[in-house]
Chain A
């Protein structure tokens, strides 16, 4: 009872300190409120026809606000862009009223922590009825070692010349990547003695070991997969390291079936709760 009361006092004190710290820090803007603030800073134009009367400064301001908005909304920041046009319309083609133009583009920027460089060509054919645009070449230049989970997907996107798919899947990949980073970091901070991140902050795996049970280690490998259609999903696996003596005692083959049981646990509890329960399992004696 005394130990409990002591803990209660300590917790109350800690909560009071954290509350004060929270009050001193500003509330970060959510995406939506940031967009609202950005929008409030713009002086809307009077009408579409009023552009000539606006001075350069306000026009520039408006364009840059549009850019800031797009940056916030897409999560993509474009640094460099260049365009080269080549007119392929030959004289005989002109007689049939068909126009052929090739546009060459260079684009570079980043989506959060992923930097990209693109070179692509678009062939535009305009005839009497319609305008068709086809990407005839796509080169995606990225550092192959930085994000190895992306390399297969990049090859496929280049083969299919699917530029929009590249950006869409990149966005979802970044979302999952940052979620994985946040989750592992959270557990590392909550259980500093039990949890290790072998590859550092952007680790793809998290290892759990207990000082009171040396020789036992649980490793959770969290891969981010991009399938044939460009859909991004997480894939988590459990690896166990158990001393020989303990394996011999394991009559009901708990260790052997652990990876499968982990998959079921994930389905039932979700990622965070499943990881938390595994950590609690091994560090039960520490508390």
Chain B
């Protein structure tokens, strides 16, 4: 019991010592673990950086490999296109005339590919020919200036064909793709126009009203009469060509004019007309109507 003051002091001192020491130990532990975790973090970050650098280098190496291969292949291709001389023994004039005739003929031949052209003082004038099935139709031209960058000087392409858009996308990077895309659009337009013109011209007898169409011929609407024996029904048709590179409509609606409901057989006809307009050229569908009509007339006579 007799805890003297000194005892108490000593006791508390030792206690404090113990606590202090404990606190010191704790502090040392925390610092150590902090340094260790900092080190680990540094190591991880280093590892990630290394990993990222490795990925980058792998990609670069792949790209360079591809580039080297492409260049090697192109060198091979260009050296292979040198042709041997076949004109030994002919006079120079003869050789030149032969080459002249041959070149002229080949240039004529190119007209049949749909794409031809001639050189001008500033570049080249490309001529795009159009056709629909066996009918050869109009031609359009695009006058190109061959400079860096390539540009279109003049053209006869209708304004509703997206020429500027196609040129912006492809002209500089891939002139071939630009010209063939333009070819697709122009041929499809010419084909749609041809069908609409033939309907108005050759089959006007079937139409009960004017053929309504837009300039691009991508939306046609008309009404036509179908006879079956004594009965006659007027249909209204709407043809929408959403894909401007094709000549068949993507959406067809055929409806009956008038308020009465259709009988079963007429409904069947209506549905079959929708299918016909979606799968066959317009004027050919009406040609088949005309043939059916003739057949019916024949049966009435006999």
Q: Is B240 an interface residue (CB 8 A)?
A: no
Q: Taking chain A's interface residues, is the majority helix, strand, or loop, or is none over half, making it mixed? A: helix
> In the complex the two chains form, is A63's CB within 8 Å of B114's CB?
no
Query: Which single residue of chain B is at the shortest CB-CB distance from A63?
Result: B103
Given contacts A15-B64, A18-B61, A36-B146, contact A66 B117 (CB under 8 A): yes
Additional A-B contacts beyond A63-B100, A70-B110 (13; CB < 8 A): A12-B57, A15-B61, A18-B65, A44-B121, A60-B96, A67-B103, A70-B107, A73-B115, A73-B176, A78-B113, A163-B131, A168-B114, A189-B69
Q: Taking chain B's interface residues, is the majority helix, strand, or loop, or is none over half, making it mixed? A: helix
Q: Is A171 an interface residue (CB 8 A)?
A: yes
Task: Return the contact of B99 from the options A64, A81, A136, A190 (Cβ within 8 A).
Answer: A64
> In the complex the two chains form, is A69's CB within 8 Å of B112's CB?
no
Q: Is B50 an interface residue (CB 8 A)?
A: yes
Measured between beta carbons, the chain A residues less than 8 angstroms from B126 are: 73
Task: Return the contact of A8 from the options B57, B119, B174 (Cβ within 8 A).
Answer: B57
Interface residue total, chain B, C-beta cutoff 8 A: 77
> In the complex the two chains form, is B175's CB within 8 Å of A74's CB?
no
Interface residue total, chain A, C-beta cutoff 8 A: 76
> In the complex the two chains form, is B50's CB within 8 Å of A1's CB?
yes
> In the complex the two chains form, is A105's CB within 8 Å of B133's CB?
no
Task: Return the contact of B124 from the options A22, A69, A76 (Cβ within 8 A).
Answer: A69
User: Smallest CB–CB gap between A129 and chain B, Å?
Assistant: 13
B58-102 toward A: CB 8 Å interface, digit per residue (1/0)?
101110111111111011001000000000000001001101100
Which of chain A's residues 20-35 have a Cβ closer than 8 Å to chain B? 21-22, 25-32, 35
Measured between beta carbons, the chain B residues less than 8 angstroms from A280 are: none
Question: What separation, in Å, do the CA atoms of A60 and B134 have in the docked complex?
Answer: 34
Measured between beta carbons, the chain A residues less than 8 angstroms from B58 are: 11
> In the complex the two chains form, is B119's CB within 8 Å of A162's CB?
no
Q: Is A186 an interface residue (CB 8 A)?
A: yes
Which of chain A's residues 123-182 have a Cβ closer than 8 Å to chain B? 132-136, 138, 160-165, 167-168, 171-172, 175
Q: Is A56 an interface residue (CB 8 A)?
A: yes
User: Smallest CB–CB gap between B204 and chain A, Å?
Assistant: 18
User: Smallest CB–CB gap between B280 and chain A, Å?
Assistant: 10
Task: Return the contact of A31 from the options B119, B130, B176, B248 (Cβ within 8 A).
Answer: B176
User: Smallest CB–CB gap between B108 and chain A, Å?
Assistant: 7
Measured between beta carbons, the chain B residues less than 8 angstroms from A223 are: none
> In the complex the two chains form, is B123's CB within 8 Å of A78's CB?
no
Given contacts A63-B107, A75-B176, contact A163 B51 (CB under 8 A): no
Q: Is B287 an interface residue (CB 8 A)?
A: no
Question: What separation, in Å, do the CA atoms of A240 and B265 have in the docked complex?
Answer: 49
Q: Is A86 an interface residue (CB 8 A)?
A: no
Measured between beta carbons, the chain A residues less than 8 angstroms from B69 are: 189
Question: What separation, in Å, do the CA atoms of A231 and B70 have in the docked complex?
Answer: 29
Which residues of A come within 8 Å of B, CB atoms? 1, 4-5, 7-8, 11-12, 14-15, 18-19, 21-22, 25-32, 35-36, 39, 42, 44-45, 56-57, 59-60, 62-67, 69-70, 72-76, 78, 81-83, 105, 107, 118, 120, 122, 132-136, 138, 160-165, 167-168, 171-172, 175, 186, 189-190, 228-229, 231
Query: Which single residue of chain A is at the shortest CB-CB distance from B56?
Result: A11
> In the complex the two chains form, is B100's CB within 8 Å of A66's CB?
no
Given contacts A69-B124, A105-B112, contact A135 B136 (CB under 8 A): yes
Q: Is B180 an interface residue (CB 8 A)?
A: yes
User: Smallest CB–CB gap between B224 and chain A, Å?
Assistant: 24
Measured between beta carbons, the chain B residues less than 8 angstroms from A57 are: 96
Query: Which single residue of chain A is at the shortest CB-CB distance from B46?
Result: A1
Task: Return the contact of B54 from the options A4, A45, A62 (Cβ within 8 A).
Answer: A4
**Residue from B43, B57, B113, B179 whose CB has the most chain A CB atoms within 10 Å:** B113
User: Smallest CB–CB gap between A69 and chain B, Å?
Assistant: 6
